[in-house]
Structure 1
Amino acid sequence: MRLSLVLVWLGAAAACGPGRGFNPRQQARRSYPLVFRQHEPNYSEINKSASGPAEGRITRHDEKFKDLVPNYNPDIDFKDDEGTGADRLMTQRCKEKLNTLAISVMNQWPGVHLRVNEGWDEENSHGENSLHYEGRAVDITTSDRDTSKIGMLARLAYQAGFDWVYYRSRSYIHCSVKTESSVGTGAGCFPSGAVVHTETGPKDIAALRKGDRVLAADDDGKMIYSEVLTFIDRDPNVTREYIEITAENGVAITTTASHLLLLASAEGWRESFAASVDVGDVLLTRGRGSVMRPSRVVHTRVLTKQGVYAPMTKAGTIIVDDALASCYALVKSHSLAHAAMAPLRWMATWSGSNDLPRGVHWYANALYSFSEFVLPTSYKYP
């Protein structure tokens, strides 16, 4: 019964499309404003249970500068006093949370936009260990500068997934996020160079396009070709931490820690986050005909690779690097995630556009953020 209710909530959360469809006000029990000088959670910003300690200032000449991404969301106003575009630069995680918050602001106050007063700082205008120097913090208000909205804006920011929110000033709030490497970021992905199998032969996942048919598995665990409908996450330029899982038959799948893999079990398959796969677990790997072949895991390791790709197939599964995976992440139930993503599959089918999204798809981002409040802890990525 509880899971049925969760599905109803998840479906309702994003049933109406971008911008005005995802409505945080449905969470009435959580929608009280923060008070002046309150912060959520009730730890210091640098606590590991909040955004975590500073890792070092990023300048335009640093190697890490390439990890900062610009935010050109038209529903967000950027102050940009410096005229350099610095306030638009931030980590991918910060961008995702900010874009989710922008949707909430438009729902809460029609006609009002989110406004960013300060983003990445390259002018040393903050304290020594400020997360602004790493692109992990933003100071925000609303486009109408209505100070009576600041407390509720702080609450909406926390609901949108910021890891630390501080009602710091009567005129703005301060928000920050954890580092990319400390969390299962994005929607769960595969790197450039991961191999999928199309009807015409093997293909780099980076070269996949909407409409391609790739090897996957049906509900009975039989290999089939399934159409790629869209991408839940796609960005060729970012670098991310991955887990490589190697089986005794030589198959090695590389994916993010929060991605769901489908392992062999007596019932056919069971779900496991990649980070939870241990030596001795059994991957389902590409075999002959329509039959998958189980192979025991013998080694795992963490590595860094370029690019993130999370194709969504009609079947909801995909065989990558010859191992079976779900198309989903962050929620430890393939069937639940597949049901919750049904509206996205319908939208992708109806859309005549072949344009590929960049970054986490808005629907998935809103859905994952909403699930933080309604899913039992046992179903969430740690």
Structure 2
Amino acid sequence: MFADRDAAKRREFHIIETRNPPMRIALTAAHLLFVVKNSTLRETFASDVAPGQEVMILDEGWHLRAVLVDQIYREERWGSFAPVTGHGTIVVDDILASCYAAVQNQNLAHLAFAPVRIVYKVAPFLFGGMTQNDGVHWYSDFLYGIGRRILGPAVFHPLSIENKS
């Protein structure tokens, strides 16, 4: 499934580039990216990633390794896609990212999406597959509403709150 999918909407993306090797990933501000802090992977909003931090890339030998972020800039682009995987992580343009956004807690987000991952796993057997329209998935929207009531708005990325107001 996609937490959010919209091929026609124009959005601002944070472009995070590495130099050695040269790689680039485009993420919305509230999307999570893994950075290395004190030898540990930490989920960080794309808007909080800074040059000099390390992100994980998939190298030519199919191994994950840390590389330095060289520069970051913003760019408007058409279309955005936020797939949800079974592990909650995804490699995009050879850079390791989270499937989640809005709340800066990978484990909490992954746990919250467990019910819908189960439904999508068994859906082909029960319903012959499921289709999804463009836009924010109803379950993502539902979780966001409940999360704001239970956890409070301070837990969420500021832009995710502005976009929902």
Give TM-score scaled by structure 1 length. 0.38
Q: CA RMSD in A?
A: 1.6
Q: Do structure 1's residue 244 and structure 2's residue 20 form an aligned pair?
A: no
* 1:284–1:295 Cα contact (<8 Å) kept: yes
What's the CA shift for 1:268? 3.1
Secondary structure, counterpart of 1:271 in structure 2 = strand
* 2:45–2:104 Cα contact (<8 Å) kept: yes
Equivalent residue in structure 2 for 1:263, among 32, 35, 39: 35
- Structure 2 equivalent of residue 314 of structure 1: 86
What's the CA shift for 1:362? 0.3
Aligned ranges for residues 342-353 of structure 1 at < 5 Å?
342-352=114-124, 353=129
What's the CA shift for 1:378? 5.4
Give unpaired runs (5+ residues) of structure 2.
Answer: 159-165
- Structure 1 equivalent of residue 156 of structure 2: 380
- Structure 2 equivalent of residue 362 of structure 1: 138
Secondary structure, counterpart of 2:83 in structure 1 = strand
Give unpaired runs (5+ residues) of structure 1.
Answer: 1-229
Q: Write the letter of the residue equivalent to 2:67.
A: S
For residues 104 and 130 of structure 2, the distance between their equivalents in structure 1, rounded to whole angstroms, comes to 30
Number of residue-to-residue matches in the alignment: 153
* 1:234–1:308 Cα contact (<8 Å) kept: yes
- Structure 2 equivalent of residue 340 of structure 1: 112
For residues 348 and 371 of structure 1, the distance between their equivalents in structure 2, rounded to whole angstroms, comes to 22
Q: Which structure has more RCO (C-alpha within 8 Å, separation ≥ 6)?
A: 2
- Structure 1 equivalent of residue 147 of structure 2: 371
Equivalent residue in structure 1 for 2:2, among 231, 237, 246: 231
Secondary structure, counterpart of 1:309 in structure 2 = strand
What's the CA shift for 1:259? 0.1
- Structure 2 equivalent of residue 276 of structure 1: 48
For residues 256 and 286 of structure 1, the distance between their equivalents in structure 2, rounded to whole angstroms, comes to 21
- Structure 2 equivalent of residue 100 of structure 1: none
Superposed CA deviations along residues 304-362 of structure 1, whole A, max 9, x for unmatched, are 11111111111110011211110000010001100011011011112121523321110
What's the CA shift for 1:265? 3.0
* 1:231–1:357 Cα contact (<8 Å) kept: no
For residues 357 and 348 of structure 1, the distance between their equivalents in structure 2, rounded to whole angstroms, comes to 15
Q: Write the letter of the residue equivalent to 1:361.
A: H
Secondary structure, counterpart of 1:308 in structure 2 = strand
For residues 115 and 130 of structure 2, the distance between their equivalents in structure 1, rounded to whole angstroms, comes to 18
Secondary structure, counterpart of 1:278 in structure 2 = coil
For residues 97 and 154 of structure 2, the distance between their equivalents in structure 1, rounded to whole angstroms, comes to 20
For residues 378 and 261 of structure 1, the distance between their equivalents in structure 2, rounded to whole angstroms, comes to 19
Superposed CA deviations along residues 217-259 of structure 1, whole A, max 9, x for unmatched, are xxxxxxxxxxxxx111111111111110111221111010000
* 2:120–2:130 Cα contact (<8 Å) kept: no
For residues 286 and 363 of structure 1, the distance between their equivalents in structure 2, rounded to whole angstroms, comes to 31
For residues 142 and 85 of structure 2, the distance between their equivalents in structure 1, rounded to whole angstroms, comes to 20
Q: Write the letter of the residue equivalent to 1:241.
A: E
What's the CA shift for 1:372? 1.3
- Structure 2 equivalent of residue 221 of structure 1: none
Q: Write the letter of the residue equivalent to 2:58.
A: R
Q: Write the letter of the residue equivalent to 1:379.
A: V
Aligned ranges for residues 1-382 of structure 1 at < 5 Å?
230-249=1-20, 250-352=22-124, 353-375=129-151, 379-382=155-158
Q: Write the letter of the residue equivalent to 1:318.
A: I
